[in-house]
Structure 1
Amino acid sequence: MTFLVLDGLTKTYGDVRAVDNLTCTVEKGEFVSLLGPSGCGKTTTLQMIAGFTSPTGGRIELAGRDLASIPARQRGLGIVFQTYALFMHMTVRENVAFGLEMRKVPKAELTRRVNDALEMVHLGALADRYPRAMSGGQRQRVALARALVIEPELLLLDEPLSNLDAKLREEMQLELRRIQREAGVTTVMVTHDQSEALAMSDRVVVMDKGRLQQVDSPFDVYETPRSSFVSTFLGKSNNFPATLQSNDETGSVILSGGQTLRGPRVSHLPGPVEIAVRPERIELVDAGAGLVSGTVRERIFFGAQWMLAVETPMGEFLVARRNAGAREVEIGSTVHLAWAPHDLRILPAEHEVSA
């Protein structure tokens, strides 16, 4: 069931179009992430949904209601800011109860809802503690409980995990997703962190320069990007210009250097395209079995895997290799690279991506 509708949403500041004709929907109960680099318009989009910024054009509809004429304080939304914005002179319980007190909720109901919210975020035992005596992850959960206790129709998260260290951030991704599912609240999160969006979302809205690039499930947005920007922004990717020669059961691509490759069937017409292959899809094979050969220029150890930089006539390839408990090939070694045809992505040439 479509719950939130953004229809032609636009925001301009003088000659700058911060958000440019953004159209997408969010289903009831979904967790959707707005993902993109700094300045792509994702935070401006969230601010327009919240009512902090007025759209220049377009429509925002929530549960059948046009939000244009509804002030921010009357939209009934739960919001968790990047800084959490907790009241340091109040206890955890007082922070969580604040929104209910402003709504003049009866005392008995207020107590019940605050207790339920604190239990949901596993902070019942810390109800009388002050935020200054809590860790970053605990403060984040206080802010989340405060947003959820008002029983919002929509929860908005503005980079909610950005202030946490890497390990705690990963732990809180799982915790936040658990809480969202348990509460059943429709959620829109802004993030610039690709792994965070992929790990937490039902769907990802990828934005760049104010424009929507792709809306898909985390799996599909990573495995089947629709543009060069999406393929390179969502994880590492080896991208090269190419020419599509034919398009029957599989697309035949000839590179500028004369190397012929096979890929999946696509809708593009013969002509300039861009090909992409993920580092983890590339295998090291015996001489004569490779699609391209090259020299290992660099290798980096990440614990669970090695990343090789291989210089080839096509250009430099990044190759991800699972750590099998042994040191990887030496720098300066000649290696031979291959991948399955279905792992090759054939994308529109960058200048041909529709505006």
Structure 2
Amino acid sequence: MGAEATMKAVRLHAFGGPEVLVYEEAPRPEPGPGEVLVRVHAVGLNPLDWYARRGFVDFPPEVRPDWRPPLILGTDVSGVVAAVGGPDTGWSVGDEVFALVNFPSRPVGYAEYAVVPVADLARKPAALGHVEAAAVPMAGLTAFQFLHKRLGYDGGGPAVVVGAAGGVGHFALQLLRLGGAEELIAVASGRHEEFLRGLGADRFVDYTRTPVAEVVEGADLLVDTVGGPEAHRLLPALRRGGRLVSCFLGDYRPERAAELGVELQQGRWQVRSSGADLAELAALLADGRIRVALDSVYPLREAAAAHRRAAQGHIQGKIVLSVVE
């Protein structure tokens, strides 16, 4: 594989709207020590992708990543090992793998080939196709690492998931069910009710009709996957001593939370690439204890259309780009 080798990729050469995503020829990377080259079959979309596409203008300057064009977006890949960067990678050409690549470093996924650190790789569950597997890594690991690795969730009183139909939300809902939540309350728009009850929700709240805190009280744990300026309105849904955890920036009014006796865990939910954690999650997917939902699938060349779909909101599960059609 010489230096002249190329591949198809979606790159941006300037920040902006979906139209800046250009399907074009790009240099094909080569793996170094401790890396493998993956022939990407599918890549999952995440909010990080559209934040990065716009130059992280939604982020405070002090936490804004310094990613500069030309840039290939995408962290969630599923594919087949095409080459290894040495004899001791533990992987062989032809192995089916998936990964959250390089996070929180520079992404590489919207392309036919991606170099992936060995530490990020896990074997793709045979029960999942590549499109399904690509929908898992960032959203699944965000929920898994926080609830199981950091929070050590092992059951308790009523648990609420806000934004339950989205990528992180639908995984969090299922992991809380597996963890033994006494009652599982899903919050989303009305069109998602049947879907979320199918994932194990005991109660459903349509936030477009009723504020959460008007119909929920005494919750032991509230997982907020939405955030935003109105996030503080969720506080009264929790009991004194209850916990609110969030994975996006929001105005949670710490002084009000203290008055209500609510423990805030904002800004402590940072996913990290980990092949070992992804392998644990893969085991849950392999035997059907949790499942991944797909909102929509687009060819790689239509990445801009996929970003436009994301901007419409009300996503059910994950949006994925199919690279090998």
Query: Shorter-chain TM-score: what band?
Result: under 0.3
Q: Which gives a bigger RCO, structure 1 or 2 (Cα 8 Å, sep 6+)?
A: 2
TM-score, scaled relative to structure 1: 0.25
Larger Rg computed on CA atoms: 1
Which one has a larger percent strand, Structure 1 or Structure 2?
1
